Amino acid sequence: MDCNSIQIFQVIVNLLHNSIDAISKLNDRWIKYDVGSDEGFVIIKVVDSGNGIDEELVEKIFHSFFTTKQSSKGTGLGLFISKQIAEEHFGDLQYYKGENTTFILRIPAA
């Protein structure tokens, strides 16, 4: 299957926008990304200086219309659609609990 680069770009932009929103009020603001490969997959990791997502919210973040943002800032569809795009490409989008907020996108390598 060929990758739809516009859709993958949409996922990455959504992750970056979420990171920007999440760290906007922190004193220490940074976003890092890493691109690599593992067992036939391209791995794109987006990490920001946030302290992660509250555990009681983690299981909800990929549900449609779930958001922690003000209604003027988000619809709750970004992560839901991003995960769907990843799965349509036979990949996955996951939240990783670590020292900082981390999302990992895995899509098959061409």
Would you state the pLDDT for residue 26?
94
Number of domains making up the chain: 1
With a pLDDT cut of 90, the percent of the chain lying above it is: 67
- Write the pLDDT tens digit of every residue in 3-22: 899 999 999 999 999 999 98
pLDDT score of 85 more than 80: yes
Q: How many alpha carbons lie under 13 Å from residue 58 in its C-beta half-sphere?
A: 15
Domain encompassing residue 83: 5-108
The CATH number given to whatever domain includes residue 52 is 3.30.565.10
Where is pLDDT greater, at 56 or 95? 95
Is there a contact between 91 and 41 (Cβ–Cβ < 8 Å)?
yes
The rounded Cα 27 to chain-centroid distance in angstroms is 22
Say how many CA atoms lie within 13 Å of 81 toward its Cβ.
16
Cβ proximity of 53 and 95 under 8 Å: yes
pTM above 0.95, yes or no: no
Identify whether the C-beta of residue 81 lies closer than 8 Å to the C-beta of residue 61. no
